[in-house]
A = this chain, B = another copy of it.
Amino acid sequence: MIISMIPRATSEQVDYVCDKIKSFGYAAHPIRGKERVVIGAVGDGKDKDRIISVMESVPGVESVIPIMQPFKLVGSELKQERTVIRMDGFTIGGDQFVVMAGPCSVEYREQLMQTADSVKAAGAKILRGGAYKPRTSPYDFQGLEEEGLKLLAEARERTGLKIITEVVNTENVDLVNEYTDIFQVGARNMQNFALLKRLGRTRKPVLLKRGMMSTLKEFLMSAEYIVSQGNTDVILCERGIRTFETYTRNTLDISAVPALQQLSHLPVVVDPSHGTGKRNLIAPVSNAAVAVGAHGLLVEVHPKPEEAFSDGPQSLLPDEFEALMEGVRKYVTVDGRSL
């Protein structure tokens, strides 16, 4: 890391910083410029965050600039081979483009079965559906809970689709684990570190959504929480960030897809439903997600959006989803991938 001193730092202050650096087992390399001194600290990365915090508090220090990426296990610096997650019959993160689709909330049997049948027919590999719903208002529908999990399992039986569902609390991890194939962590829980650690001790893939205010580095640090506990099957999901623009529900950060793929070896998928919040933007943005190189999509589909308990405005009808899949199929083949 680099420690930049204030312009009028005394030589005692510079010496103090150098001694402090050495006390952590790092080497100190002061560079004396015309206006100020900057000091390079070279070491093995141990206690890095602690040292940064200490140095920022030392008198005479103006700023501390970390050079190394803060994430290790999920980073492409240490592991260059891409992570490919093997599901029963297909893979995520390799040459297949995987579509996960289904209703925002599991509401009732017919809704889910009908959706499952139609997304299966259109080419989806995984059925999504929320049994536990984190809702902004305490007065909104909060999910069917275990009843919803059972319906998802039934839909899996019926269709052969894998299932993905959200887990919102450490206390539910064991129960959800009994049913789901993939855990989903929602944007609001991206920094629920207790939950991340708990999921790191399960053996099922975790789809981690980017928080709506989270930088790519924070996103990867949250993935690091899971992987550091032993579970290496993490799928990153770009679902839009919050900006000043309110025309769309969020601003989908399309550049984040290749950026994450360069910074990390983990698979990256896109959620165009939350990313736009508007039904008529979902298909074009899905095409963009394919072309930018994403490994898959997470799409909301509902047989009767206007009766959906949540996210109706951004849910596609089954035939709209079918049309979306036709478009996606064309773009997937451009670079030799398959659906």
Binding site for B on A (CB under 8 A): 2, 4, 7, 20, 29, 31-36, 38, 40, 42-45, 48-50, 53-58, 65, 67-68, 70, 77, 134-142, 168-171, 188-189, 191-194, 197, 211-213, 215-218, 221-222, 224-225, 228, 241-248, 251-259, 262, 275-276, 278, 280-281, 284-285, 287-293, 305-313, 315, 330-331, 334-335
Contact = CB atoms under 8 A, between A and B. Distances in A.
Contact of A288 (B281, B289, B313): B289
Q: Is the interface of A mostly helix, strand, loop or mixed?
A: mixed
A287 B293 CA distance: 9
A306 B215 contact: no
B170 A169 contact: yes
**8 interchain residue pairs of minimum CB distance:** A213-B213, A57-B312, A291-B291, A57-B306, A56-B313, A31-B40, A288-B288, A287-B291
A70 B136 CA distance: 10
Question: How many copies of the polypeptide does the oligomer hold?
Answer: 4
Contacts of A291: 284, 287-288, 290-292, 331
22 contacts: A48-B139, A49-B140, A54-B307, A54-B312, A57-B305, A57-B313, A70-B137, A134-B193, A138-B193, A169-B194, A188-B191, A192-B192, A215-B246, A241-B244, A241-B245, A248-B256, A248-B259, A255-B276, A255-B278, A258-B281, A284-B291, A288-B289
Contacts of A138: 193, 197, 221, 224-225, 228
Contacts of A54: 306-308, 312
Contacts of A35: 45, 68, 77
Contacts of A77: 7, 35
Contacts of A141: 50
Contacts of A309: 50, 53
A165 to B, nearest CB: 16
A276 B292 CA distance: 13
A326 B134 CA distance: 44
A192 B136 CA distance: 10
